[in-house]
Structure 1
Amino acid sequence: METEKKNAQLCFGCGQDNPIGLKLSFYREGDLFCGEFMAQEEHQGYPGMVHGGIIATLLDEIMANNLFDQGLFVVTAEITVRYVHKVPVGERIFLFSRQLDRRRRLYEMEGWIEDDQGRVLAQSRGKM
C-alpha cells in the first residue's frame, strides 16, 4: 500500500489549482472527517438542486480524503449513493465520513451530507 498522496492540485474535487474544481478542504473532528461546501448555479441539475454527479463527487472526496489524511494513498473501487433529500444550491452543506472496516487492502467507508439543521441529504458507502 502506498502511503504518499500523489500531487492532486488539479483534482476536480480537492485540487486548489483546478480553475473549474470544487476546491474542497477538510478537517478532522473527533472520529469524523469533515468538510463544508456551498454549491453554485453551475453545479445544479434541475434549478436550485445540486446535480447528482456533484453530490456523488462530494461523497467520494470526503471518504477518500479521510484515508489520505491518515497517510494512505487509495483509489475508489466502489461507491453507492443514496439521495435522501434535494441538496440546495447556494446553501452551506456539511460533509462527513468515517472508516467502517478494513479487510486486507480494502477500506470500507461511510459518508454523508447534512444541511445546517443536521438533516441528512445524501449517504454513501465506499470501498477504497
Structure 2
Amino acid sequence: MSQCLQEQYAPDSVCYGCGPANPQGLHVRSFADGELVVADWTPASHHEAFPGMVNGGIIGSILDCHCNWAAAWHLMGRHGLSQPPCTVTATYTIDMKRPTPSAGPLRLVARVVEANDDRCVVEGTLEAGCRITATCRGVFVAVKPGHPAYHRW
C-alpha cells in the first residue's frame, strides 16, 4: 500500500483525525489525485451516534483533517516546496445532507477553490455508497514561526 500524505510528510503527528502516530486516532489517510485530495475511511461501531449511523462530530473531524491536508498539499505545490507548510483550520462549516451509514467505507474528496500565499479555501464532500452525506467548506492557513502548531510535522 502506498504512503498517504500524512505518512509521507507527518509520520510523527498525533492529530486525533489524521495523525499516524496517534494509536487512538481516526487515521484519515489522504492521497493526492490531480487537483483533488481523496481518502477512503471506514468507521467502526464506536464512531456511531446511534446504531448504523456515524456521529456528526466524527464526520466534522474527518472532513476537517482531510480538507486541511488538501490546503497543505496545494500550498506545497504553489510554492515549490519539498515539504508541505504546517496548516491549521481558521474556519470550517459542515453541512449534514443525510445520515451517514457506518457500514462500509466512506469516501472523502477535497479540492482547493481559492488560494493565496498562505491560505486556502477548501471544499470537501463525504460520500457513502456514491451519495454525498455531508459537505465541508473551510479556510486553512499556513502558520508562521512562533505559532504552537508550527513544527507539528
Q: Identify the TM-score tier after normalising by the shorter chain.
A: 0.7 to 0.9
Q: TM-score, normalised by structure 2?
A: 0.73
* Residue number among 89, 111, 119 corresponding to 1:76 in the alignment: 89
Pair 1:107 & 2:120 matched: yes
Q: TM-score, normalised by structure 1?
A: 0.87
State the identity %: 28
**Count of residue pairs the alignment pairs up:** 123
Q: Cα offset for 1:88?
A: 1.1
Q: Given the superposition, is the C-alpha separation of residues 8 and 127 from structure 1 closer, same or farther in structure 2, using an over 3 Å criterion?
A: farther
**Which residue does 1:29 correspond to in 2?**
33
| Higher Cα Rg, which structure | 2
Cα distance in 2, alignment partners of residues 7 and 67 from structure 1 = 18
Cα distance in 1, alignment partners of residues 10 and 125 from structure 2 = 25
Q: Given the superposition, is the C-alpha separation of residues 106 and 30 from structure 1 closer, same or farther in structure 2, using an over 3 Å criterion?
A: closer
Cα RMSD (Å) of the superposition? 1.7
- Gap regions ≥5 residues in structure 2: 1-8, 77-83, 141-153
Note if contact 1:67-1:74 (Cα within 8 Å) is conserved in structure 2: yes
**Which residue does 2:66 correspond to in 1?**
62
Q: Cα offset for 1:91?
A: 1.4
* Residue number among 4, 18, 21 corresponding to 1:17 in the alignment: 21
- Gap regions ≥5 residues in structure 1: none
* Residue number among 131, 144, 149 corresponding to 1:119 in the alignment: 131
SS at match of 1:42: helix
**Which residue does 2:100 correspond to in 1?**
87
Cα distance in 2, alignment partners of residues 38 and 62 from structure 1 = 14
Note if contact 1:15-1:21 (Cα within 8 Å) is conserved in structure 2: yes
Note if contact 2:91-2:138 (Cα within 8 Å) is conserved in structure 1: yes
Note if contact 1:67-1:73 (Cα within 8 Å) is conserved in structure 2: no
